[in-house]
Amino acid sequence: MEHVTAVPSWAMFAYLVSGVLFILALRGLSSPATSRAGNRYGMIGMTIAMVTTLLTHGVASLPEIVGALAIGGGVGFVTARKIKMTDMPQLVAAFHSLVGLAAVLVGLAAYLNPQAFGIAGADGIIEPQSRIEMGLGIAIGAITFSGSIIAFLKLAGKMSGSPIMLPGRHVLNLGTLIAILGLVAYFTQDQSQWVIATITVLSFIIGFLLIIPIGGADMPVVVSMLNSYSGWAAAAMGFTLHNTAMIITGALVGSSGAILSYIMCKAMNRSFISVIAGGFGAAPEAAGGAAKEQRPWKRGSAEDAAYMMKEAENVIIIPGYGMAVSQAQHALREMGDVLKKEGVNVKYAIHPVAGRMPGHMNVLLAEANVPYDEVFELEDIQSEFSQADVAFIIGANDVVNPAAKTDKSSPIYGMPVFDVDKAKTIFFVKRSMGGVGYAGVDNDVFYMDQTMMLLADAKKMVEDIVKALAH
């Protein structure tokens, strides 16, 4: 490989344009109404950045680079086309892991051949500031990789979504983090292989340790947090590669992910510091995975729901992951349209952590062409449940569980939840009474006097309600 040369002024301007497009992309992605435009801005910005980098940096073999881009782009294109919306959270976690691994590999490549990256003299001694950038980039990338792998396994159901608590985990985590930071500092004085190898191994381990104690109810925050980590890893590698576009992109991703994590923690009444430290989640005995006791409950039917909602003035629909699994969003939108024709005021209530990743429910409803002005966040609709004639819960559980307000031993205690108990009538769509939410907690709403359980596949139940409304 050739040495890194000074970047021409036109390339710096191109990177500036890319940065502006990335900012516009983040702005567009903040709302379902502008998300498609945001995606387009991001793709254009990344294309400009990649082409500029290839034109201004010496590469070993352009055909190899183009071939790698074709393979990676082809895999991404096919995966994006085939992936189900229900599998999107674990796909995002998998992508984060690849970003982290890429940062580790780039950092190790720079360590093994520093002259090619312009960060060392002829004697092979790496500049001290470059060692800091390299060490931090590898550490953050390794944490992102192993942490994202655990998140992927939990979201995909390949390992338990319940918190896994190791004895003395806080001391172990803190000790490992201090060791990593100490080794990065020592790396500025000694660039021996054992130092960088130890940093890499310990970082892989701490990524694993930080995520396994986090329960399923908090997984959306984890996805957002790992997104932030992947951005900071990319930014650190941008300094190592002397690539302005990587620095800008990584900083934007890292900061926006951190801000989103903070907002979600605030919405869930969680401590942002405890999220970063991997210190929140339920005690092992708190998430049993089964109903606590057998209590009387009432079973309803599609006809019951159709009649009650047709006679109602205000209906609030609360979607959750069960709606995503059954792909019921299109039938749900059809049900809402029929009710609106009957003069019913229909609104959709979205909890910050409904689903398995930030904005999961918003994306599904947008896919079904639900009007954006009918979709409300928790703080905007919470006060309206007392005036609601019907609360229609479809596939949600933890976000409507009163245990979050009353049971201090619950893994979701302190998380703001919808006040569905204030509605006159509650229809709760779920597959069976045997299951509990992702956090593994029984739900008192099942047994309330005004609740009717609609036990069936969510899509089929909604379709039956639509048919009943037609009659």
As annotated, the active-site residues are: 398
What b-and-e string marks burial along 93-112, b requiring 16 or more CB atoms within 10 Å of the CB?
A: bbbbbebbbbbbebbbebbe
Question: How many angstroms separate the CA atoms of 171 and 297, rounded?
Answer: 45
**Helix, strand or coil for residue 4?**
coil
Question: How many angstroms separate the CA atoms of 293 and 247, rounded?
Answer: 54
Question: How many angstroms separate the CA atoms of 165 and 357, rounded?
Answer: 23
Phi-psi region of 448 (alpha: psi -120 to 50; beta: other; left: phi over 0): beta
- DSSP string of 343-411? T-EEEEEE-TTSSSSTTHHHHHHHHTT--GGGEEEHHHHGGGGGG-SEEEEES--GGG-THHHH-TTST
Measured distance between the N- and C-terminal CA atoms of the chain, rounded to whole angstroms = 73
Eight-state DSSP code of residue 116: G
Looking only at Cα atoms, what is the longest distance across the chain? 84
CA distances from 260 to 24, 266, 397, 400, 438 (A): 17, 10, 23, 22, 22
CA distances from 419 to 182, 281, 426 (A): 48, 23, 11
Who's near 381: CB < 8 A, 6+ residues apart? Answer: 316, 347, 349, 418
- Amino acid symbol at 385: F
Question: How many angstroms separate the CA atoms of 164 and 185, rounded?
Answer: 32
* Element holding 316 (H helix, E strand): strand 314-319
Residue in 399, 396, 390 with CA at minimum distance from that of residue 435: 396
**Helix, strand or coil for residue 123?**
coil
What's the residue count for the chain? Answer: 471
What b-and-e string marks burial along 30-65, b requiring 16 or more CB atoms within 10 Å of the CB?
A: eebeebeebeebbebbbebbeebbeebbeeeeeeee
The C-alpha angle with vertex 429 and arms to 427 and 434, in degrees rounded to 5, equals 120
